[in-house]
Amino acid sequence: MPAYKAPLRDMRFLMNEVFDYPTHYANLPGGEEATPDLVDAILDECAKYCEEVLAPINQSGDEEGCHFADGVVTTPKGFKDAYDQYVAGGWQGLNYPAEYGGQGLPMSMGLLKAEMMGTANWSFTMYPGLSLGCMNTIMLHGDAEQKATYMPPLVEGRWLGTMCLTEPQCGTDLGQVKTKAEAQADGSYKLYGTKIFISAGDHDLSENIVHIVLARLPDAPKGTRGISLFIVPKYNVNADGSLGERNPVNVGSIEHKMGIRASATCVLNFDGANAYLIGPANKGLECMFTFMNTARIGTAVQGVCHAEQSFQGALPYAKDRRSMRALSGKKDTDHAADSLIHHGDVRRMLLTQKAVAEGGRAMVYFASQLADNMSVGIINGDIETYDYWDDKLGFYTPILKGVLTELGLEAANLGMQVFGGHGYIKEHGMEQYARDARIATLYEGTTGIQALDLLGRKVLLGSRGKVVREFTAEIAKFCRDNVANKAMRPFVWELTKIVTQWNYLTVRIMLQARKDRDLVGTAANDFLMYSGYAMLAYFWAKMAAVAFDKLENGGNDEPAFYEAKIQTAEFYFDRLLPRAKGHADSMLKPTASVMQMKPEHFNFG
222 φ/ψ angles, rounded to the nearest 5 degrees? -70, 160
- Phi-psi sector, 516: left (phi>0), alpha (psi -120 to 50), beta: beta
Q: Is 444 a catalytic residue?
A: yes
Cβ atoms of residues 8 and 43 within 8 Å? yes
The C-alpha atoms of residue 77 and residue 1 are separated, in whole angstroms, by 17
| Cα-based distances in Å from 359 to 5, 255, 542, 558 | 18, 34, 10, 20
Q: Could you count the other beta carbons within 10 Å of the beta carbon of residue 444?
A: 22
Give the DSSP letter string of 511-544: HHHHH-THHHHHHHHHHHHHHHHHHHHHHHHHHH
The C-alpha atoms of residue 163 and residue 131 are separated, in whole angstroms, by 8
Per the DSSP assignment, residues forming a β-bridge with 103 are none
The C-alpha atoms of residue 196 and residue 81 are separated, in whole angstroms, by 28
The C-alpha atoms of residue 32 and residue 21 are separated, in whole angstroms, by 12
The C-alpha atoms of residue 205 and residue 74 are separated, in whole angstroms, by 8
The C-alpha atoms of residue 398 and residue 401 are separated, in whole angstroms, by 5
Residues contacting 429, CB < 8 A, separation 6+: 1, 2, 58, 59, 313
Pairing of strands 189-199, 265-277: antiparallel
| Cα-based distances in Å from 458 to 120, 289, 314, 403 | 34, 15, 38, 16
**The 3-state secondary structure of 315-348, one letter per residue:** HHHHHHCECCCCCCCCCCCCCCCCEHHHCHHHHH
Q: Is 153 helix (H, G, I), strand (E, B) or coil?
A: helix
Q: Is 267 helix (H, G, I), strand (E, B) or coil?
A: strand
The C-alpha atoms of residue 560 and residue 183 are separated, in whole angstroms, by 66
Count the residues in the chain: 605
The C-alpha atoms of residue 570 and residue 88 are separated, in whole angstroms, by 44
Say which of 167, 444, 474, 563 is annotated catalytic.
444
Handedness of CA 270, 272, 276, 282 (dihedral sign): positive
Burial of 107 (0-12, 13-18, 19+ CB in 10 A): buried
Name the DSSP class of 355: H
The C-alpha atoms of residue 404 and residue 487 are separated, in whole angstroms, by 28
- Known catalytic residues are 444
